Amino acid sequence: MKRFLEIGLGIVTGIGGFLEAGSLATAAQAGADFRFSLGWSIALGTICLAFLVEMSGRLAAVSRHTIPDVMRERFGFTFFVAPLVVMQMVMLLVLATELGGVCLALQLASGVAFRWWALPVMAVTWLLLWKGTFGIIEKGVSMLGLVTLAFAVAAWRMHPPVHDVLVGLVPSLPTHDAPHYWFIAVSVLGASISPYLFFFYSSGAVEDKWDAGYLGINRITAGLGMGFGGLVALAALITAAMVFHPAGVKIESYEQLPILLTSVLGRWGFVLFVLTLAIACFGAALELALTMAYTMAQGFGWQWSEDLPPAKDARFSVTYTIALVLAAVPVALGTDILKLTNFSMALTAASLPLVAVPLLIIMNDPRYLGDRCNGWISNTVALFVIALAFVLAIVAIPLELIGG
Amino acid sequence: MHCRGRRARTLAGTLGLIAGCWLAACSHPSPAAQAAEKREAIQSAAATARLVVRAWNAGDVPTAYASRTLEQAATRLESAAGPGNKLAESIVRLSEAVQQGNHALAAQQENALRR
């Protein structure tokens, strides 16, 4: 019974935690600009993410180590510095977009400009990290994140053409505006295959004291949780394809997005959108700030745990405090959050090889995984992710300039 | 030797691809592409304004939200089409009607946008 509860909770966490500012904005842009044609990028990103999450959970359950921890130990600190610096910079940008997303939700609800919310939102996020436990942050916020299912309800009620949606799941070449098509595809993949997600997952597994007995739960949670989460992102694409594409609306700011839900759910649509944006981005901001602290602490061998009082892991707590303060600056300065989102998603995609290559090597090292090393399916997917990651790394920035 | 030559060609091809991507990124868009972009921006701003006003008239979105989004649409339209654009002026009037809570005027302006 306990195992079923844990599986259920894991799946709920996966669904509730999947959608955030990046995945919502990029999915909606994909639907508005290219109807269902970019559905494949969400499906591909979700499959890759599910495999990577499963691997990071397996590594944590078998070796009791997290990814950054093993990367430093296996390849040495000199090697580890490059991914550490790049990942921290990318995560800081993504953290800024998530804080910005919460602030925008508050702007929609109150009418007060989003930049004025930067400090209060940063303070509340910090307070929850300072006072809260890992369980509250992981499960509590993700449970609230189920409000994102509003997009699934909206997509269902619109009765989208099923055949066209299914055709969109097959990768296709663009019929118009190729640079923008590929830029959005890269952004969707960057939003889906975010290294912070599997860094956080492996740290969470260690926080929850997983052992080899959790391998089954890990596999189901990674597969179903990420799978259903991907469906919510696909639902956002479908609503945008049904509402914005026929009208010729191009998404140029987050303020346009509530119309996606009000056109189907009326007044409740607006309320649900504000809640979706606020909770999804708040949850992601908590996870990102924690992941930045986890990565630093695990990389430098500091004491770390969200369940410890801050006095017991001072450097870990100071790291997320500094990260939150720095991330709040661009929001307080009134930076365009949608532009920041697209930029950070492209950079996330570009930074993926730095994590994917070491992860593949680690996942085939019996010193850490014993007889639980990757099989041929996981290795094939990991190799595919690496090839994809290198292509994304090469084209992400030029596409940002041409089609972004 | 043969293998080294193939590797060199592969490397040159990859570098060529990267250079091509970057050169394309740094080049200016053609006048036709610029015109299409401008047309799309104008259409998008007008469509956004119509959808927002329709939602506001139905009581689905608050006035502050509708007014701010309309102002943004007008600003975007002006930056795409240049100052003094008639459509942008219509959207500004629409935003004023929304701020005053004048549903009749807003509906009238929305009809004008449709034309």
User: Of residues A32 and A14, which shows the higher confidence score?
Assistant: A32
Q: Which H, E and C letters describe B40-104, residue by residue?
A: HHHHHHHHHHHHHHHHHHCCCCCHHHHHHHHHHHHHHHHHHHCCCCHHHHHHHHHHHHHHCCCHH
In this prediction, residue A146 has a pLDDT band, given cuts at 50, 70 and 90, of confident
Please give the single-letter amino acid code of residue A238: I
Give the residue from A110, A128, A88, A103 showing the smallest Cα distance to A332: A103
Which chain A residues are closer than 8 Å to B17 by Cβ? 394
Which of B21, B51, B72 lies nearest to residue A247, judging by beta carbons?
Answer: B51
Which of B26, B44, B51 lies nearest to residue A259, judging by beta carbons?
Answer: B51
How far, in Å, CA of A299 to CA of B66, rounded? 48
Question: What pLDDT is attached to residue A33?
Answer: 93
Q: Does B80 touch chain A (CB under 8 A)?
A: no
- The pTM of this model reads 0.89
* A248 to chain B: closest CA residue: B44
User: In Å, how far from its chain's centre is CA A249?
Assistant: 26
Question: What pLDDT is attached to residue B23?
Answer: 53
Which of B25, B58, B62 lies nearest to residue A398, judging by beta carbons?
Answer: B25
Site from B61, B77, B98, B114 to mutate, A interface, most A CB atoms within 10 angstroms: B61
User: In Å, how far from its chain's centre is CA A362?
Assistant: 22
What are the C-alpha distances in Å from A176 to residues A34, A173, A181, A259, B36? 9, 9, 8, 25, 11
In this prediction, residue A32 has a pLDDT band, given cuts at 50, 70 and 90, of very high
How many residues are there in chain B? Answer: 115
Q: What is the pLDDT of residues A269-315, one digit of tens each?
A: 999 999 999 999 999 999 999 999 999 999 898 999 989 999 999 99
Q: What is the pLDDT of residues A175-220, one digit of tens each?
A: 888 888 888 888 898 888 888 888 999 999 999 899 988 999 899 9
**B45: number of Cβ within 10 Å:** 30
Question: What pLDDT is attached to residue B1?
Answer: 47
Query: Is residue A173's pLDDT more than 90?
Result: no
Q: What is the pLDDT of residues A214-243, one digit of tens each?
A: 999 899 988 988 888 899 999 999 999 999
- Kindly state the percentage of chain A with pLDDT values over 70: 97
Query: Is residue B19's pLDDT more than 60?
Result: no
- Indicate yes or no: CB of B60 within 8 angstroms of CB of A269: yes
Per-chain mean pLDDT for chain A = 90
Query: Is residue B26's pLDDT more than 60?
Result: no
Q: What is the pLDDT of residues A131-144, one digit of tens each?
A: 999 888 887 877 88
The tokens for B5 are: 């030559």
